[in-house]
Amino acid sequence: MTINDEISIVANKIANEGNKPTVALIKTKLNKKIPLPVIISVLKNWQHEPTFITLPEENHTKIEYKTDNPPIETRSFEKEVHDELTSLKEEVLELKELVKQLLKKQVKK
């Protein structure tokens, strides 16, 4: 699940309860710490989708071992890499924006 998906799902759940999703409310309901600029950015573009409150079951691959162990379901390697890259790309974009803001502040001084 991407950070954006998690924020959107939380916002939809809040809206489904009849409340207005705010940055503070969303931040308290997230599973992990996410920087405020990311929450703000997603919330600016968020549109209420009442049914988007969970992700569809992710692809799983069965791996059978030739031992007495039962089959194990795991997420596919490609999906894990994709999720990590997506997360890293979002963080890089956020950092680039922060650097731009800092450079603008330095130029003004």
Question: What is the full per-residue pLDDT of the chain (109 aa) written as tens digits?
Answer: 788 889 999 999 999 999 999 999 999 998 888 889 999 999 999 998 888 888 665 444 444 444 444 444 445 666 777 788 888 899 999 999 999 888 888 887 6
SS3 breakdown of the chain: % helix, strand, coil, rounded to 5?
Answer: 60, 5, 35
**pLDDT at 18 (0 to 100):** 93
Evaluated on CA atoms 23, 28, 31, 32, the torsion sign reads positive
Q: 1, 83 in Cβ contact below 8 A?
A: yes
pTM comes to 0.50
Owning domain of residue 59: 3-108
- Which H or E run includes 42? helix 36-45
In terms of Cα–Cα distance, which of 18, 2, 6 is closest to 54? 6
Please tell me the total count of domains within the chain.
Answer: 1
* Interior/surface letters 8-24, b for 16+ CB within 10 angstroms, e for the rest: bbbbbbbbeeeeebeee
